[in-house]
C-alpha cells in the first residue's frame, strides 16, 4: 500500500486493515451518546464531539504518518437519568459493557494491546472502566480515556491551552461553544436558557446541581433524574450559565488543543513498554 490516506477502520479493506494491525498495537475507541444538553445544544453533542475529535486525530496521524487504528464512533451510551427528556436514547449498563467488551476482544484478536477511549459522555465511564479492568486482567491490555471537554478543561487549567472556560457543564457555555465551532450549520440558540434548579426538598436539603443536594453545606450525591432538577436539561457551575458567552473561538481552541495533545500522546504511547507482570494476571 502507498502513502496511507486514512486510519479510520471503516474506510479500510481487510487487506489494508491487516497491514495496519501489523504496524501498531494501539486503537482508539470512540464512544458518544444521544441525550439532552440543555435547551440550546443538540441531543448528539457528545456524539458530535467524539466524531469530530476522531476525524481530526485521523487527519493529524495521516499527515505525520503515525500508525493507529481508529474505530467508528458508537453513538449511544448510558444516560438513563436523562430519560424524562424527549429524544433521549439509553443503553443499559450491562448491555453497553458487554458491547464494549466484544469490541475490545476483537481488537485484541487483531493484535491491539493499548486502547485510547475517546468518550466525552461521562455516563459511559463505569462501563469503560469495567471493560478495561477485565481487559487488563484477562487480556493484558492497557487503556486510557480522553474526552474533548474534560481533557480540554485539564489542559486549560494546566496552561497548555488558553481559553476562558475553566469548568464543565451540561449544555451550557462549554458544550455550546463546541457546537458553534464544529457544527455551525445546526446552531440555533434562540431557545437557549438556564433556569435555576428546582428546589424539591426545602431549605434543609438544597439542590445544588443535577446530581447533588447539600446537607450542612456538604454535598450529598443523589439518584435524581435530570428533569427533577432542571426543566431545560442544562446544568453547570454559575460561571458556565451565561450561554451568550459561548463562542466558536473557544470551542475551536479546546478541540484543536485536545487533538494535538492526544496525537502527541499517541507518539509516546507507542513507545511505552507495559511491564510483563502487568499482562494477563488471571484469577
Q: What is the grid cell recorded at 270?
A: 507507542
pLDDT at residue 1, rounded to an integer:
47
Q: What is the grid cell recorded at 2?
A: 502507498
| Separation CA 224–CA 221 (nearest Å) | 9
Tens digit of each residue's pLDDT (9 = 90 or more) over 234-275? 999 999 998 889 999 999 999 999 999 999 999 999 998 877
| Cα 102 versus chain centre, distance | 19
For residue 119, give the nearest of 163, 57, 58, 53 by alpha carbon.
53
Side-chain-side CA neighbours of 72 within 13 Å: the count stands at 6
Please check whether residue 130 is in contact with residue 115, taking contact to mean a CB–CB distance below 8 angstroms: no
Q: Is 101 exposed, middle or buried (0-12, 13-18, 19+ CB in 10 A)?
A: middle
pLDDT at residue 191, rounded to an integer:
81
Please check whether residue 148 is in contact with residue 4, taking contact to mean a CB–CB distance below 8 angstroms: no
Q: Which residues of the chain have pLDDT under 50?
A: 1, 282-283
Residue partners of 182: CB distance under 8 A and separation at least 6? 48, 49, 52, 251, 252, 255
Q: Please give the span between the terminal C-alpha atoms of the chain, in angstroms, as a whole number.
A: 42
Domains of the chain by start residue, with CATH: 9-165+249-277 (3.40.50.10310)
User: Which residue carries 453533542 as its cell?
Assistant: 45
**237-248 as b/e, with b when 16 or more CB fall inside 10 Å?**
eeebbebeebbb
pLDDT at residue 280, rounded to an integer:
57
Q: How far is CA 257 from CA 27, 149, 152, 252, in A?
A: 20, 11, 7, 8
| pTM score of the predicted model | 0.93
- What is the bridge-based pairing of β-strands 235-236 and 218-221? unpaired
| Separation CA 174–CA 147 (nearest Å) | 13
Residue partners of 80: CB distance under 8 A and separation at least 6? 90, 92
User: Which residue carries 493499548 as its cell?
Assistant: 114
Looking at the chain, how many residues does it have?
283
* Other Cβ atoms within 10 Å of 267 Cβ, number: 12
Angle formed by the axes of helices 148-157 and 248-271, nearest 10°:
90
| Separation CA 220–CA 12 (nearest Å) | 49
Amino acid at each position: 500500500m502507498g502513502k496511507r490516506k486514512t486510519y479510520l477502520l471503516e474506510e479500510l479493506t481487510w487487506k489494508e486493515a491487516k497491514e495496519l494491525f501489523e504496524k501498531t498495537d494501539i486503537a482508539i475507541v470512540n464512544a458518544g451518546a444521544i441525550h439532552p444538553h440543555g435547551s440550546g445544544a443538540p441531543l448528539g453533542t457528545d456524539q458530535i464531539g467524539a466524531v469530530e475529535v476522531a476525524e481530526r486525530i485521523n487527519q493529524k496521524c495521516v499527515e505525520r504518518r503515525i500508525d493507529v487504528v481508529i474505530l467508528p464512533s458508537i453513538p449511544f451510551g448510558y444516560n438513563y437519568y436523562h430519560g424524562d427528556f424527549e429524544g433521549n436514547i439509553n443503553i443499559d449498563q450491562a448491555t453497553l459493557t458487554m458491547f464494549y467488551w466484544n469490541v475490545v476482544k476483537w481488537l485484541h484478536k487483531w493484535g491491539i494491546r493499548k486502547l485510547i477511549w475517546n468518550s466525552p459522555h461521562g455516563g459511559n465511564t463505569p462501563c469503560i472502566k469495567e471493560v478495561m479492568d477485565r481487559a487488563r486482567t484477562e487480556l493484558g491490555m492497557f487503556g486510557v480515556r480522553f474526552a474533548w471537554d474534560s481533557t480540554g478543561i485539564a489542559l486549560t487549567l494546566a496552561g497548555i491551552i488558553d481559553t476562558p472556560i475553566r469548568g464543565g457543564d451540561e449544555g451550557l457555555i462549554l458544550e455550546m461553544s463546541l457546537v458553534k465551532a464544529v457544527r455551525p450549520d445546526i446552531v440555533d440558540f434562540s431557545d437557549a436558557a438556564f433556569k435555576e434548579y428546582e428546589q424539591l426538598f426545602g431549605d434543609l436539603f438544597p439542590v445544588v446541581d443535577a446530581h447533588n443536594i447539600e446537607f450542612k453545606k456538604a454535598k450529598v450525591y443523589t439518584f435524581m433524574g435530570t428533569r427533577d432538577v432542571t426543566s431545560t436539561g442544562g446544568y453547570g457551575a454559575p460561571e458556565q450559565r451565561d450561554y451568550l458567552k459561548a463562542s466558536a473561538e473557544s470551542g475551536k481552541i479546546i478541540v484543536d488543543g485536545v487533538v494535538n495533545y492526544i496525537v502527541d500522546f499517541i507518539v509516546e504511547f507507542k513507545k511505552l513498554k507495559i511491564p510483563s507482570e502487568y499482562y494477563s494476571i488471571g484469577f
